[in-house]
């Protein structure tokens, strides 16, 4: 296999300098740069100690390990339900399909009755599982770490369901997108 090296030419039609961020610069520039990485969109759910369902939209999600099976999600500390998620023994991560942007909006909106409009079921640990999601992961809390203005919540995966077909809801440059697969 031969590696082809492309000539260094500018893709820009004008001579504008691309935005840059340096430590101490404005957070908006950093947010725009981070927004260049397309992510999937999830809704993380749990129950309060009184048994009430809680959830929030999160796109900071990734697999960590297959042995043991671990994933992580990073909820914002400013979110009203984050503390419940961090203290819950079990939680779920629901990966949204490209047809569930409305659920992402719902779970990102303060003061909305998120579960009144959401079809859920429960599995082994009575955690709300969103129906028709692309994938659902029921997890036991493994660890919680400091992540600045977010928390790093690692879960040990105990139960999974996923759709063989369907496309994820994507988030890129502060907007929802779809894959253009056939």
Tens digit of pLDDT at every position of the chain (182 positions): 555 655 655 555 555 767 666 676 677 776 776 555 567 899 999 999 999 999 999 988 999 999 999 999 999 999 989 999 999 999 999 999 999 999 999 999 887 789 998 999 999 999 999 999 999 999 999 999 999 999 999 999 999 999 999 999 988 777 878 887 54
Domain ranges of the chain: 27-172
Q: What is the pTM of this model?
A: 0.83
What's the confidence (pLDDT) of residue 100?
95
What's the confidence (pLDDT) of residue 11?
55
What's the confidence (pLDDT) of residue 172?
74
What's the confidence (pLDDT) of residue 182?
46
Q: Does the domain formed by 27-172 have CATH 2.10.60.10?
A: no
What's the confidence (pLDDT) of residue 21?
61
SS3 for the chain is: CCCCCCCCCCCCCCCCCCCCCCCCCCHHHHHHHHCCCCEECEEEEEECCCCCEEEEEECCEEEEEECCEEEEECCECCCCCHHHHHHCCEEEEEECECCCHHHHHHHHCCCCCCCCCCCEECCCCCCCEECCCCEEEEEEEEEEEEECCEEEEEEEEEEEEECCCCCECEEECCEEECCCCC
């Amino acid at each position: 296999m031969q590696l082809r090296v492309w000539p260094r030419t500018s893709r820009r039609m004008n001579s504008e300098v691309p935005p840059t961020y340096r430590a101490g610069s404005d957070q908006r520039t950093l947010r725009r740069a981070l927004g260049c990485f397309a992510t999937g969109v999830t809704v993380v759910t749990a129950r309060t100690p009184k048994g009430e369902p809680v959830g929030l939209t999160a796109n900071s999600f990734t697999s960590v390990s297959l042995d043991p099976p671990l994933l992580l999600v990073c909820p914002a500390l400013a979110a009203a339900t984050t503390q419940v998620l961090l203290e819950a023994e079990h939680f779920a991560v629901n990966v949204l399909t490209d047809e569930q942007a409305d659920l992402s909006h719902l779970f990102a909106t303060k003061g909305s009755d998120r579960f009144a409009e959401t079809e859920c079921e429960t599995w082994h640990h009575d955690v709300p599982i969103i129906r028709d999601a692309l994938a659902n992961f029921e997890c036991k809390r493994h660890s919680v770490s400091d992540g600045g203005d977010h928390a790093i919540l690692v879960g040990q995966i105990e139960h999974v369901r996923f759709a063989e077909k369907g496309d994820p809801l994507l988030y890129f440059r502060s907007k929802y997108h779809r894959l253009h697969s056939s």
